[in-house]
Structure 1
Amino acid sequence: MVRALNFSAGPAALPLPVLERAQQEFVNFKGTGMSIMEMSHRGKHYDAVHSEAKQRLKQLMNVPDTHEILFLQGGASMQFSMVPLNFLKEGSTAGYILTGSWSEKALQEAERIGKTFIVASSKESKYRSIPSKSDWKDDSGLSYLHITSNNTIYGTQWHEFPETNAPLVADMSSDILSRPLDISKFALLYAGAQKNLGPSGVTVVIAHKEWTASHSNSLSKFLDYNTHLKTDSLYNTPPTFSIYMLGLVLEWAEEQGGTDGLATLNKEKAELLYDCIENSGGFYRGHAEKGSESHMNVTFNLPDQELEKDFLGKAANEGFIGLNGHRSIGGCRASIYNAVPLEAVEKLADFMKVYRKNHPSRSFSFQ
């Protein structure tokens, strides 16, 4: 079987060794005669899977003892509601920085619950950049400040996290585990697994224990973070297979040199594509401004939609999957998460160069 050159935005590519390991263990996990999907989440075999996944993630991300790891459900979209339900109380205000569609969706959910304040936004420039700290409005006195660390649709990313005057909350669904982080900067961060951590079905939350415990959600026990903190994410039946797969991905990540090794590889992959765009003589145009380019999602356009359609069609014929831009903005997008091999990115860069040579007279009129 020839593996696809998978550049899908999510669910996204998984490491082949992880898939092969899961295949081997699928119907007979550790000699039990059962699949992990058939086992009780209260039994010793799943308990070991659950505990090991938490411990590996703690070590890989250098999570301090002040923070706790939760395995929840509902995706990042559930967190859009859970965060304000827990931390946005009557008489308080939550701050949001808008850098794309997902931060907009997070804000919209918070607006249904309480008072919000837009600290900064790059919407007027079509989300081509991350707002500079000098452009922020006053963020003091806020219940929390919410950001989206990487923007899959527009291809921008926070490369540094500035100091804030409010507890910092981050949606890291599309770049968690892709680079080292100082977890102590965050009151809470969350991420759907289906881009860098594993298959869809589990959402990782890393929460400051004292800050979280000092808040409570009186509307719903299930949507109260403290419920899950007290029960080790076992208040209800967890997504056992997704957590098992997450554990295998984390083991694979350790073999790649952890977050340091992954960051080096991700930077190399991104530079291959950005160099190809910048040296195309105006044939390709990147959406993100310099300094804000994502190392996870490289977004770009060709001179016109007809050419983009032809480019995507020919790319598909060569085995490239998932290069279409998001349906809301079109264009092209190469998602190069942790599991996307360097060799696949090299093949894409080569394809882009050849395609450019075959259209020598085409370029954006303003370049």
Structure 2
Amino acid sequence: MKKHNFSAGPSILPQEVLLKASEAVLDYNGSGLSLIEISHRSKDFVDIMERARALVLELLGLEGKGYKALFLQGGASTQFLMLAMNLLEKRAGYLNTGAWSEKAIKEAKVLDDIYEVASSKNANFNYIPKQYDIPSDYDYFHCTSNNTIFGTQIKSFPKCDIPMVCDMSSDIFSRQLDFSQFGLIYAGAQKNMGPAGTTLVVVKEDILGKVSRNIPTIMDYKKHIGSGSMLNTPPVFAVYTSLLTLEWLKGLGGIAAIEKENEKKARLMYSEIDLNPLFKGFATKEDRSLMNATFTLENENLKDTFETMLKEAGVSGVNGHRSVGGYRASMYNALPIDSVKVLVEVMSELETKA
């Protein structure tokens, strides 16, 4: 049976990407060698890295605007500290919208003063705060664009006179934005871009080199830029698969095209949540995520029936995070709308059984 993969991450990848990646593991580009056994200094892999970094900037509309793309390791969790080491001199402001924001704040506090400019913790993070002030004397402002656990997403980013840093791990490449409004973007690959193992960092070079601390070599963005994102041995498979996914996205028509598909999936999903009396959405409607729809089942007596029906339909990965409970449908770029239709049909059928 075909599985409908709603996993929050690592998440679904396009089938054609998986096929090409698997072929490369056996024989890359007719070389007679596996992708994962060639030197990262070889012409073949240097070409992969350069193409991937260039395609990132192209898709984000940042070519020729002073930005560099890096493929690093350690996940977005390492970036919580790394970005602070490179940008934090005296103080910084953070928007607290969920578990990942809280972790970013915790790590940055190791270095210096961190201030919450606003928080939605008072309502278990079911909304995005608005109308808050960002002091112009802060070193940077940090936000998380999409919150996988709680199903919220920033729809409009604030105007600020300082560098804006954004964790886009769960919605990178999913919707059109003016990406030049950000000084630094980072994202774990394993939701919209590739397998776990690499982390994308897109940084405007002119915001670097302004802190007085000595930055360890492996944590220094400038060092990684200077080495072409290969200061140490890169995760070759994760970078290559990310390149394939970016090429797949470009072939579809880029971010503009995938945004339309994501909006269709989200409309279908949220319509069922709102119309079906058995379910209730968690996130405030105006802040609902296009990527992660969170909802609960109103009648717990139907839980076993519902989950049996999901299993029989081949629906996988919809259990909600313990912080929210209920269910979570993660609708990343590679998830086809047909999978959303199957989930909605199961939800609708449950109503007839109630």
Question: Where in structure 2 are there 5+ consecutive unaligned residues?
Answer: none
What is the match of residue 122 of structure 2? 124
Structure 1 residues 89-108: aligned runs within 5 Å = 89=89, 92-108=90-106
Change (3 A) 1:55 1:216: farther
The 1-side partners of 2:213 and 2:268 are apart by: 46
1:315 to 294, 302, 310: 310
Change (3 A) 1:141 1:304: farther
What is the match of residue 77 of structure 1? 77
Letter matched to residue 355 of structure 1: L
Give the SS at the match of 1:268.
helix
Is 2:195 the counterpart of 1:199? yes
Give the SS at the match of 2:48.
helix
Is 2:28 the counterpart of 1:29? yes
What is the match of residue 161 of structure 1? 157
What is the match of residue 62 of structure 1? 61
- In the TM superposition, structure 1's runs of 4+ consecutive aligned residues that sit over 4 Å from their partners are none
Aligned residues: CA RMSD:
1.4
Identify which range, 67-76 or 14-23, moves more after superposition.
Answer: 14-23
Give the SS at the match of 1:184.
helix
What is the match of residue 355 of structure 1? 350
Q: State whether residues 273 and 298 of structure 1, in contact with CA within 8 Å, keep that contact through their aligned partners in structure 2.
A: yes
Deviation at 1:200, TM superposition (A): 0.5
The 1-side partners of 2:212 and 2:281 are apart by: 44
Give the TM-score normalised by the residue count of structure 2.
Answer: 0.96
Letter matched to residue 69 of structure 1: A
Give the SS at the match of 2:68.
strand
The 1-side partners of 2:345 and 2:38 are apart by: 46
Structure 1 residues 238-277: aligned runs within 5 Å = 238-277=234-273
Letter matched to residue 44 of structure 1: K
The 2-side partners of 1:141 and 1:306 are apart by: 54
Change (3 A) 1:63 1:315: same
1:152 to 142, 148, 154: 148
Deviation at 1:58, TM superposition (A): 1.6
Q: State whether residues 64 and 184 of structure 1, in contact with CA within 8 Å, keep that contact through their aligned partners in structure 2.
A: no
Q: State whether residues 173 and 192 of structure 2, in contact with CA within 8 Å, keep that contact through their aligned partners in structure 1.
A: yes
Is 2:321 the counterpart of 1:326? yes
Letter matched to residue 46 of structure 1: F
Deviation at 1:285, TM superposition (A): 0.6
Question: Where in structure 1 are there 5+ consecutive unaligned residues?
Answer: 360-367
1:214 to 197, 210, 213: 210
The 1-side partners of 2:82 and 2:305 are apart by: 43
Q: Deviations over 1:281-333 (max 9, x none)?
A: x3211011121000000000011444345423431232111000013332100
The 1-side partners of 2:148 and 2:122 are apart by: 18
Q: Deviations over 1:157-207 (max 9, x none)?
A: 012212123210000000000012212101101000000000000100000
Identify which range, 147-156 or 220-229, moves more after superposition.
Answer: 220-229
Give the SS at the match of 2:219.
coil
Q: Deviations over 1:76-128 (max 9, x none)?
A: 00001111111112xx1110001111001100111121101110111111111
What is the match of residue 365 of structure 1? none
Letter matched to residue 45 of structure 1: D
Letter matched to residue 96 of structure 1: Y
Give the SS at the match of 1:162.
coil
Give the TM-score normalised by the residue count of structure 1.
Answer: 0.93
What is the match of residue 15 of structure 2? 16
Q: State whether residues 216 and 226 of structure 1, in contact with CA within 8 Å, keep that contact through their aligned partners in structure 2.
A: no
Is 2:39 the counterpart of 1:46? no
The 2-side partners of 1:304 and 1:112 are apart by: 44
Q: State whether residues 216 and 225 of structure 1, in contact with CA within 8 Å, keep that contact through their aligned partners in structure 2.
A: no
What is the match of residue 292 of structure 2? 297
Letter matched to residue 115 of structure 1: D
The 2-side partners of 1:114 and 1:41 are apart by: 37
The 1-side partners of 2:245 and 2:213 are apart by: 33
The 2-side partners of 1:78 and 1:138 are apart by: 25
Give the SS at the match of 1:26.
helix
The 2-side partners of 1:342 and 1:353 are apart by: 16
What is the match of residue 279 of structure 2? 284
Q: Number of residues paired by the alignment?
A: 353
Q: Deviations over 1:327-363 (max 9, x none)?
A: 333210000000001111111111111112211xxxx
